[in-house]
């Protein structure tokens, strides 16, 4: 892969709002080799003149479901593996075109999809996956409807995305199996949810000993546990039990936000799925009981962001989109702009997410030794975050792992 030298760039490094101009960035193979305000000697490199535009790290979406082919989760298994794979290819290609050079799949993603992306069989971002999520019987990951009984056929929707596992021995085995299959982390259902048919959203899920056992397995693997949590009680509990990333955190209160800030855990809010379902859920076949839960979450979601911002919680960036809503991925920037500054949102989608994913210094930054995942924005996203909410139209260049995915600067 030929070396590339970016010249005359205004660099946002993923953290600081002080973006120096006239910078040079040298990429060799899939890594950033040098960042300097002085001329870099690289005689063999291809030079790309950024013309003073903003060069920044590729975006990270830390909460997706590549196989989530329907907003009605009970229908996902019925689509079959081939359909889900085709949906994933379309969704991931769209994400890359929007500037997301890394995604973390927290429910369903697997080695096969990861390898297809790595081998260039389909277009998409760098792909991290938790494998199948873990849910207790009757929990947020148990997609059986009320009339369905035990058995493989009844549980088929669950097996498309996750394990239903009860008791310490079962959850340990399920966690170990996903780690064996290359999972970057383990995702558990720590509370009730919106899309699941039989559990109230306020419900805490899994016992303390079950969660602790899963956390132990991930720590021993030098990995971590992520937990789906909506209510404050579930957030407090999972934080105390060693979970690293809280997914959603929608119903958090000020006291819980202060606790999470003190412990240094991460929260990955996902605003766009909530408002997308409220607006389009009925039209897309979202079940009535789930629609009601989505509307409850929507009434408190923005206040939760305010609580976490005021407390200083480390917040990442996620979207959690399902079915046809995948096209709203960039809307997350617009929704967050009601609470956060552009700099805060940019940090969430780059350096904070990288830290949450245990990849600080490799992703979400423009620094020597980091992966060469880079964007060139036509304009200043630190003044106008809407530049990133336009489905990639304001991106003049997208680089993933040193490869030019898009280049309009020739």
Question: Same domain, yes or no, for 25 and 113?
Answer: no
Among residues 329, 353, 384, the one where a domain terminates is 329
Q: Would you say residue 350 lies in a domain?
A: no
d(CA 159, CA 132): 8
Edge-to-edge strand ranges of the sheet holding 126-129: 59-64, 100-105, 126-129
What is the model's pLDDT at position 141?
Answer: 85
CB atoms within 10 A of CB 288: 8
Among 219, 179, 183, CA closest to 105: 183
- And the tokens for 92? 């991931």
Question: Same domain, yes or no, for 152 and 241?
Answer: yes
Any idea which residue has 């409850």 for tokens? 296
What is the model's pLDDT at position 159?
Answer: 67
DSSP 162-173: EEE--HHHHHHH
Say whether 296 sits in a helix, a strand or coil: helix
What is the model's pLDDT at position 196?
Answer: 83
The 8-class DSSP code of residue 215 comes to H
- 158-187 confidence digits (pLDDT tens): 467 899 999 999 999 999 999 999 999 999
d(CA 14, CA 51): 20
Q: Would you say residue 348 lies in a domain?
A: no
Which residues, other chains included, contact 306 with Cβ-Cβ below 8 Å and sequence gap of 6+? 339
Q: Would you say residue 270 lies in a domain?
A: yes
**Checking DSSP bridges between strand 126-129 and strand 314-315, what pairing results, if any?**
unpaired
What is the model's pLDDT at position 341?
Answer: 98
d(CA 408, CA 348): 27
Phi and psi at residue 373, to the nearest 5°: -110, 105
Question: Same domain, yes or no, for 68 and 141?
Answer: yes
Q: Would you say residue 82 lies in a domain?
A: yes
Question: Same domain, yes or no, for 228 and 79?
Answer: yes
- And the tokens for 278? 């409220």
Among residues 288, 304, 329, the one where a domain terminates is 329
Based on its alpha-carbon atoms, the radius of gyration of the chain, rounded to whole angstroms, reads 21
CB 178 within 8 A of CB 186: yes
Low-confidence ranges of the chain (pLDDT < 70): 147-159
Task: Tell which phi-psi region holds residue 14, choosing left (phi > 0), alpha (psi between -120 and 50) or beta.
Answer: left
Range of the domain at 395: 4-58+362-407
d(CA 234, CA 350): 27
What is the model's pLDDT at position 298?
Answer: 92
Enumerate the β-bridge partners of residue 377: 54, 395
Domains identified in the chain, total number = 2
Residues composing the chain: 410
What is the model's pLDDT at position 148?
Answer: 67
- And the tokens for 191? 């509370």
d(CA 185, CA 73): 22
Say whether 57 sits in a helix, a strand or coil: strand
Question: Same domain, yes or no, for 169 and 230?
Answer: yes
Q: Would you say residue 337 lies in a domain?
A: no
Q: Would you say residue 368 lies in a domain?
A: yes
Q: Would you say residue 339 lies in a domain?
A: no
Question: Same domain, yes or no, for 51 and 69?
Answer: no
Say whether 33 sits in a helix, a strand or coil: strand
CA dihedral 17, 224, 245, 102 (to 10 degrees): 50
Among 391, 318, 397, CA closest to 353: 318
Among residues 306, 329, 352, the one where a domain terminates is 329
Question: Same domain, yes or no, for 257 and 297?
Answer: yes
Among 354, 194, 345, 201, CA closest to 277: 194
Question: Same domain, yes or no, for 181 and 292?
Answer: yes
CB atoms within 10 A of CB 182: 14
pTM (predicted TM-score):
0.95
Q: What is the CATH number of the domain that holds 170?
A: 3.20.20.140
| CA angle 322–325–326, rounded 5-degree value | 75
Question: Same domain, yes or no, for 215 and 321?
Answer: yes
Question: Same domain, yes or no, for 286 and 302?
Answer: yes
Question: Same domain, yes or no, for 216 and 292?
Answer: yes
Enumerate the β-bridge partners of residue 229: 248
Question: Same domain, yes or no, for 71 and 112?
Answer: yes
Q: Would you say residue 380 lies in a domain?
A: yes
Which residues, other chains included, contact 296 with Cβ-Cβ below 8 Å and sequence gap of 6+? 201
d(CA 216, CA 223): 10
Q: What is the CATH number of the domain that holds 49?
A: 2.30.40.10
């Amino acid at each position: 892969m030929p070396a590339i030298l970016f010249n005359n760039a205004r660099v946002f490094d993923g953290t600081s709002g002080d973006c120096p101009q006239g910078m040079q960035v040298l990429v060799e193979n899939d890594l950033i080799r040098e960042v300097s305000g002085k001329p870099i000697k690289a005689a063999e490199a291809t030079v790309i003149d950024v013309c003073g535009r903003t060069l920044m790290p590729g975006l990270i979406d830390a909460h997706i479901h590549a196989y989530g082919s329907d907003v009605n989760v009970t229908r996902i298994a019925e689509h079959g593996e081939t359909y889900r794979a085709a949906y994933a290819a379309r969704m991931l290609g769209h994400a890359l075109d929007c500037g997301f050079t890394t995604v973390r799949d927290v429910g369903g993603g697997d080695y096969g999809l990861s390898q297809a992306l790595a081998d260039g069989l389909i277009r998409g971002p760098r792909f991290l996956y938790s494998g199948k999520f873990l849910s207790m019987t009757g929990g947020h990951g148990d997609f059986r409807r009320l009339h369905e009984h035990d058995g493989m056929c009844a549980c088929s929707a669950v097996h498309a995305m996750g394990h239903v596992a009860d008791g310490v021995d079962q959850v340990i085995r399920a966690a170990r199996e996903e780690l064996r299959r290359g999972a970057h982390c383990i995702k558990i259902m720590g509370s009730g949810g919106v899309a699941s048919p039989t559990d109230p959203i306020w419900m805490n899920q899994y016992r303390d000993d079950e969660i602790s056992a899963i956390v132990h397995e991930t720590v021993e693997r030098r990995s971590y546990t992520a937990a789906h949590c909506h209510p404050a009680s579930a957030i407090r509990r999972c934080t105390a039990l060693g979970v690293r990333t809280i997914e959603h955190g929608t119903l958090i209160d000020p006291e819980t936000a202060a606790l999470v800030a003190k412990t240094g855990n991460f929260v990955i809010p996902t605003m766009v799925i909530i408002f997308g379902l409220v607006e389009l859920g009925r039209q897309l076949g979202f079940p009535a009981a789930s629609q009601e839960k989505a509307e409850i979450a929507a009434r408190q979601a923005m206040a939760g962001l305010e609580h976490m911002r005021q407390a200083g919680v480390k917040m990442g960036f996620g979207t959690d989109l399902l079915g046809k809503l995948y096209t709203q991925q960039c809307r997350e920037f617009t929704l967050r702009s009601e609470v956060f500054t552009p700099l805060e949102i940019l940090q969430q989608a780059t350096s904070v997410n990288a830290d949450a994913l245990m990849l600080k210094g490799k992703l979400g930054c423009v620094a020597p030794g980091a992966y060469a995942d880079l964007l060139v924005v036509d304009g200043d996203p630190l003044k106008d975050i809407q530049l990133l909410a336009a489905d990639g139209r304001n991106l003049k260049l997208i680089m993933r792992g040193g490869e030019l995915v898009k280049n309009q600067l020739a």
